[in-house]
């Protein structure tokens, strides 16, 4: 569930109270207050069982909380009310797909046909629905061949994505070739995505690919390029992380982590404690026990029960 899409125009006129209630539920979701949003949406739906916008919001509250059985039930109702809504079909298929990921493989087999049917119908209903095409790319790549998995079908939807958005098309092909262990082609398409769009998301996909390929030098180079274009503090942490994990360019990693801490804000995403942890790793690699202990203690002071932090401290103490 990556986006909240609230469809509020199913009825010609909505009363002011309806709009206020639905808006307040959507606002709670935006603020990640999912339990409160669920309670409010559930109460509203009890009194307005045929309000499709409210039902969709209720399904979204379940999805954000990973209550997949409840989400499936709500989205199935929505599909029953309006089987020609691409968005309802997409969310119904997506909730079933997430459920299938957390149960055993034998049970998951029962969901595959319905997932595929919902996604394919959504794609047919809305030729411009990018999310469902991404879902189909992933589905066809992850399914075994005996169950309908197919690179050629995945590439078909990657081509459709390309026609809607070149960046999405390139990223989808990068994902396909990475999944199929064709690293040269994967790298090619991830680079094309950067050249076309240049977003942080594009850079992140290539960085992650390089890390998986055990190519930290390329990962660092890509992060440096991203930092020069986007000026985001979060990239300082990413550079420090790669330096610490792969024992390369430790001085640069140390500087970047210190910069990250100095300029930190909650919007950067990764808590400062993790930057202290990465600095401790770097100082351990540099055999500076005093600084390593200082920084791991700073990390532990923020998250005393964090297992990686405590394990790192034991390594430092044995130095």
pLDDT digits (tens, 9 = 90+) for 64-82: 999 999 999 999 999 999 9
In a domain, 107, yes or no: no
In a domain, 300, yes or no: yes
Please give the Cα distance from 281 to 296 (Å, whole number). 8
- Which pLDDT score is estimated for 12? 39
Please give the Cα distance from 313 to 318 (Å, whole number). 9
Please give the Cα distance from 6 to 223 (Å, whole number). 36
Secondary structure in 3-state letters for the chain:
CCCCCCCCCCCCCCCHHHHHHHHHHHHHHHCCCHHHHHHHHHHHHHHCCCCHHHHHHHHHHHHHCCCHHHHHHHHHHHHHHCCCCHHHHHHHHHHHHHHHHHCCHHHHHHHHHHHHHHHHHHHHHCCCCHHHHHHHHHHHHHCCHHHCCCHHHHHHHHHHHHHHCHHHHHHHHHHHHHHCCCHHHHHHHHHHHHHHCCCHHHHHHHHHHHHHCCCHHHHHHHHHHHHHHHCCCHHHHHHHHHHHHHCCCHHHHHHHHHHHHHCCCHHHCCCHHHHHHHHHHHHHHCCCHHHHHHHHHHHHHHCCCCHHHHHHHHHHHCC
Which parts of the chain register pLDDT below 50? 1-17
Q: What CATH number is associated with residue 263?
A: 1.25.40.10
Rounded to 5 degrees, what are φ and ψ at 86?
-60, -40
3, two tokens: 């986006």
In a domain, 253, yes or no: yes
In a domain, 192, yes or no: no
Please give the Cα distance from 312 to 317 (Å, whole number). 9
In a domain, 241, yes or no: yes
Structural domains counted in the chain: 1
In a domain, 167, yes or no: no
- Which pLDDT score is estimated for 20? 78
- Which pLDDT score is estimated for 148? 82
Please give the Cα distance from 35 to 254 (Å, whole number). 40
- Which pLDDT score is estimated for 277? 98
Buried b (16+ CB within 10 A) or exposed e, 152-186: ebbbebbebbbeebebbbbbbbbbbbbeeeeeeeb
Question: Smallest Cα–Cα separation from 296: which of 316, 273, 280?
Answer: 280
In a domain, 297, yes or no: yes
Residue 311: domain span: 232-319
- Which pLDDT score is estimated for 145? 81
Sign of the C-alpha dihedral, residues 32, 78, 2, 143?
positive
In a domain, 185, yes or no: no
């Amino acid at each position: 569930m990556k986006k909240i899409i609230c469809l509020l125009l199913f009825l010609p006129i909505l009363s002011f109270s309806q709009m206020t209630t639905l808006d307040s539920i959507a606002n709670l979701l935006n603020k990640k207050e999912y339990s409160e949003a669920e309670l409010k949406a559930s109460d509203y739906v009890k009194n307005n069982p045929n309000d499709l916008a409210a039902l969709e919001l209720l399904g979204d509250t379940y999805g954000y909380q990973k209550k997949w059985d409840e989400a499936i039930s709500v989205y199935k109702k929505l599909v029953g009310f309006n089987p020609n809504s691409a968005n309802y079909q997409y969310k119904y298929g997506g909730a079933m797909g997430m459920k299938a990921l957390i149960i055993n493989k034998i049970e998951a087999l029962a969901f595959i046909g319905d997932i595929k049917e919902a996604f394919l119908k959504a794609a047919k209903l809305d030729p411009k629905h990018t999310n469902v095409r991404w879902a189909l790319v992933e589905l066809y790549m992850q399914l075994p061949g005996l169950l309908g998995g197919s690179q050629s079908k995945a590439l078909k939807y990657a081509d459709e994505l390309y026609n809607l958005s070149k960046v999405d098309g390139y990223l989808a092909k990068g994902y396909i070739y990475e999944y199929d262990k064709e690293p040269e082609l994967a790298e090619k398409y991830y680079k094309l995505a950067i050249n076309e769009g240049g977003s942080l998301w594009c850079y992140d996909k290539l960085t992650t690919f390089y890390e998986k390929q055990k190519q930290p030098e390329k990962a660092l180079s890509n992060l440096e390029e991203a930092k020069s274009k986007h000026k985001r503090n979060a990239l300082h942490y990413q550079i420090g992380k790669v330096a610490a994990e792969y024992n390369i360019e430790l001085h640069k990693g140390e500087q970047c982590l210190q910069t990250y801490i100095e300029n930190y804000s909650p919007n950067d995403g990764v808590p400062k404690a993790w930057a202290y942890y990465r600095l401790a790793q770097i100082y351990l690699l540099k055999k500076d026990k005093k600084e390593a202990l200082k920084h791991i203690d700073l990390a532990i002071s923020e998250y005393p029960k964090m297992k990686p932090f405590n394990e790192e401290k034991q390594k430092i103490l044995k130095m």
